[in-house]
Amino acid sequence: MSLFDVDPLLETMLDAAPGISDLNLSVGRPPQVEVDGQLRSVKFASIERLLPYQTELVAMRLLAGKRDLAEKLVKSGSVDLSYSLPRRTRFRVNVFQQRGSYSIVLRVIPNKIPTVEELGLPPQLNEIAHERNGIVLLTGPTGSGKSTSLAAIINKVNREKAVHIITIEDPIEYLHPHQMATINQREVGADTQTFALALRAALRQAPKIILVGEMRDVETISIALEASETGHLVLSTLHTIDASKTIDRIVGVFPKNEERQVRTRFSQSFKWIVSQRLIPKKGGGRMAICEVLRSTARTKEYVQEGEREGKSLMDAMNDGVLEGMQSFDYELERLINAGVIDRETALSYATNRTNLQLRLETQGTGAGHVESVPVKDAKGGARKPPTPKSEMDDLIER
């Protein structure tokens, strides 16, 4: 394989199956693609198993003309970047060293920015686009759809409001064209050295909305809080699995003696915490299940004072359906009853498996008993269970 075979290789891998989320190039394995969370081998030329020099050639091609990133790879052992396949798609790329060779994972970024509806997300998430200030956090494991959900929200603002938006990403994923909004996208490593430096600079660049790719450290979180308190809407992500863990992470990065102050500031600043998990559907494919916490007098109190017996964020979410809140386990219960997901699969992803199993057994729940879990949207109207959208399965994974 020569240096110039990289684009044909990527084309072949993309053509291997519909709904591909990632391309994987690892020494000792053939080229592989990930579909619905499972890896599949792809035949390309006569490659049965990739050799160290072949993955190094691919890495050289992806890093061509990016000397600073190549130096970072040598020093730190891994690097993030973006790569475009002309007239086809873009990728978020991670190149990393392992056992003396290079491995590469390329996350597929669709050219079309999806909507909240196309992603099958709770419709109340569209309301985030109308917030004027505060902090909105999208959380979940790597690959759970955080970046795509944020892109959908930014895209809604872009279509509907004439405001200045700044995004700070590592690397830039979705490319947002100017529509009603003016959007400036900055990439860490290319346009700025760190999230914190770019976020501090953004306060002098007159944006109404700032998207920070990830809250990685105490400095970034501190500046984000400051920005939200001075009239900006800050959107960002964290690798936490639910609202409680998210607040613990935010508070935990600060010194212990600042906990009370941080809790007070965050309770006044946060607007939404949305946590996502990708769950396999019956019949194939995956869908995003969301836990949604909104800022209310009750949830502000629980954040500020800390959770305790009888006053948990889970209780607030379960009681706050009419305010647009929902918990993972009640969504799982609803989708089991609607026949969208399998019972055992749902139980394996549940926040509290025992409680969910007890509710299902008490109700004698089986697929088709939709009426046993009434769910309403943020305005109090009945909300239908998500309809599987096979053509969008690949989008919810970003």
Distances (CA, A) of 337 to 121, 221, 276, 346, 360: 18, 40, 20, 11, 9
Distances (CA, A) of 52 to 43, 175, 184, 241: 18, 33, 39, 36
Token pair for 169: 């990403």
pLDDT score at 142: 86
- Residue-wise pLDDT for 89-127, tens only, equals 999 999 999 999 999 999 999 889 999 999 999 999 999
- Please state the φ and ψ torsions of residue 25, each to the nearest 5 degrees: -120, 105
What does DSSP assign to residue 326? B
How far apart are alpha carbons 154 and 174 in whole angstroms? Answer: 10
Mean pLDDT of the chain: 90
How far apart are alpha carbons 389 and 369 in whole angstroms? Answer: 22
* Mean pLDDT confidence for 279-299: 94
Kindly list the structural domains of the chain, giving each domain's residue range(s) and its CATH number in brackets, ordered by start.
3-109 (3.30.450.90), 116-326+375-397 (3.40.50.300)
Residues in the chain, how many?
398
Q: 364 falls in which pLDDT band (50, 70, 90)?
A: low
Q: 86 falls in which pLDDT band (50, 70, 90)?
A: confident
Residue ranges of alpha helices (H) inside the chain are 6-14, 52-62, 67-76, 116-119, 146-160, 195-202, 218-229, 243-252, 259-269, 297-305, 313-319, 328-337, 343-349, 353-363
Cβ pair 356, 332 in contact under 8 A: yes
- Residue-wise pLDDT for 12-71, tens only, equals 999 999 999 999 999 999 999 999 889 999 999 889 999 999 999 999 999 998 988 999
- Residue-wise pLDDT for 213-255, tens only, equals 999 899 999 999 999 999 999 999 999 999 999 999 999 999 9
278: nearest Cα among 315, 238, 328: 328
* Mean pLDDT confidence for 288-301: 97
* Mean pLDDT confidence for 276-299: 94
Nearest 10 degrees: Cα torsion 156, 162, 164, 168: 10
Q: Is the pLDDT at 372 greater than 60, yes or no?
A: no
pTM (2 decimals)? 0.84
Cβ pair 195, 177 in contact under 8 A: no
**Among 75-84, 254-263, 380-389, where is mean pLDDT lowest?**
380-389
How far apart are alpha carbons 71 and 62 in whole angstroms? Answer: 14
